[in-house]
Homo-oligomer: A and B are copies of this chain.
């Protein structure tokens, strides 16, 4: 099976009824840039780092930072600088909840994403990087910080450290600390990468680690629907019905990411630890009941412990932790409700 065929579902991310133009009209400004700054990393001392950002929407509009999972980038959605689909293509665009005609949308590349920084990073470091980018862009205060998965953890760290710079936080499928079982899964992913590295098969190990990560992002219910075929014997070996799909996910990941970036960002999730009592920003926590990586109980505890008013929005999805990448219509409605405010 070809990579495209195995990933057919993944390559058509906008599965809801909402549609957007393939990329925004040139009348919506988009900008890209990078800054060089020194950040005192919590576990690795002060480092001079290059931070890469991309924005859409007029700089005078209410500013919203939008950050995704560890494999997301500053390219949130297609725009006239880059017509390629962004990681949240279905949620950011004309007429959608995150509309660059009404909001100044800001994305960044994660510290460590380029694979050059081989040192422990944590979410507090990422929050400092966001603050440094906002300084460079001249933004004193955000209308909202919308974070999904790792982005939600960074949002919580930002709210705890820079609460005065933030009006509201939307934390989607990310908690204040890692769950020990999820840490076990990630620890194993890193050991699989290390096995590959030991043996000069870095991409092979990285692909298998990504495949294991995919199994933590998705649900048995989805696999039961998609891959309910008898296993096949190829020669004298058994292949599972989902092998093509998972291998395509692994390959696509290794084409874009280095082992160092994966290892350091994976570790960063396990180093994440924010005290919700330090968060004085009004927050919406969005939880998916089927999420096996971030159990509902953790997000319930988070929403109860945040010092400011906090609303827990619970939804069901076959896609578990990855719901934010798949449930387009639901998230559009949730985002509209969560980020609306006097300024919009």
List of B residues within 8 angstroms of A1 by Cβ: none
Question: Is A282 in the interface zone, CB < 8 Å from B?
Answer: no
User: Do residues A188 and B211 form an inter-chain contact, with CB atoms below 8 A?
Assistant: yes
Question: Is A201 in the interface zone, CB < 8 Å from B?
Answer: yes
Mark interface residues in A3-23 (1 if CB within 8 Å of B CB, else 0).
000000000000000000000
Question: Is A239 in the interface zone, CB < 8 Å from B?
Answer: yes
Q: How large is the interface on A (under 10, 10 to 19, 20 to 34, 35 or more residues)?
A: 35 or more
Q: Which of B120, B188, B212 contacts A233 (CB 8 A)?
A: B120
List of B residues within 8 angstroms of A267 by Cβ: 237-238
List of B residues within 8 angstroms of A178 by Cβ: 231
Number of copies: 2
Q: Which of B43, B212, B223, B271 contacts A212 (CB 8 A)?
A: B212
Whole-angstrom distance from the CB of A179 to the nearest CB of chain B?
A: 6
Complex: A248 Cα to B118 Cα, angstroms: 28
Complex: A185 Cα to B191 Cα, angstroms: 16
List of B residues within 8 angstroms of A192 by Cβ: 192, 195, 208
Complex: A224 Cα to B180 Cα, angstroms: 5
User: Do residues B198 and A240 form an inter-chain contact, with CB atoms below 8 A?
Assistant: no
Question: Is A51 in the interface zone, CB < 8 Å from B?
Answer: no
List of B residues within 8 angstroms of A208 by Cβ: 188, 191-192, 195
User: Do residues B119 and A236 form an inter-chain contact, with CB atoms below 8 A?
Assistant: yes
Report the nearest B residue to A224, measured CB to CB: B180
User: Do residues A273 and B240 form an inter-chain contact, with CB atoms below 8 A?
Assistant: no
Within 8 A of B (CB), among A154-176: none
Complex: A120 Cα to B239 Cα, angstroms: 12
Question: Is A46 in the interface zone, CB < 8 Å from B?
Answer: no
Mark interface residues in A272-310 (1 if CB within 8 Å of B CB, else 0).
010000000000000000001001000000000000000
Question: Is A313 in the interface zone, CB < 8 Å from B?
Answer: no
Report the nearest B residue to A247, measured CB to CB: B191
Complex: A304 Cα to B259 Cα, angstroms: 48
Whole-angstrom distance from the CB of A298 to the nearest CB of chain B?
A: 9
List of B residues within 8 angstroms of A316 by Cβ: none
Which among A183, A204, A239, A295 has the highest number of chain B CB atoms within 10 Å? A183
Complex: A155 Cα to B215 Cα, angstroms: 29
Mark interface residues in A243-273 (1 if CB within 8 Å of B CB, else 0).
1001000000000000000000001001101
Whole-angstrom distance from the CB of A240 to the nearest CB of chain B?
A: 3
Complex: A219 Cα to B181 Cα, angstroms: 8
User: Do residues A195 and B205 form an inter-chain contact, with CB atoms below 8 A?
Assistant: yes
List of B residues within 8 angstroms of A188 by Cβ: 208, 211-212, 215, 246
Complex: A246 Cα to B185 Cα, angstroms: 11
List of B residues within 8 angstroms of A273 by Cβ: 230
Which among A120, A195, A238 has the highest number of chain B CB atoms within 10 Å? A238
Complex: A223 Cα to B181 Cα, angstroms: 6
User: Do residues A43 and B233 form an inter-chain contact, with CB atoms below 8 A?
Assistant: yes
List of B residues within 8 angstroms of A196 by Cβ: 195
18 sample A-B contacts, Cβ–Cβ < 8 Å, listed by A number? A43-B236, A120-B238, A181-B223, A181-B224, A183-B231, A183-B240, A183-B242, A187-B239, A191-B211, A192-B208, A195-B199, A195-B205, A195-B208, A199-B201, A212-B212, A237-B267, A238-B270, A240-B270
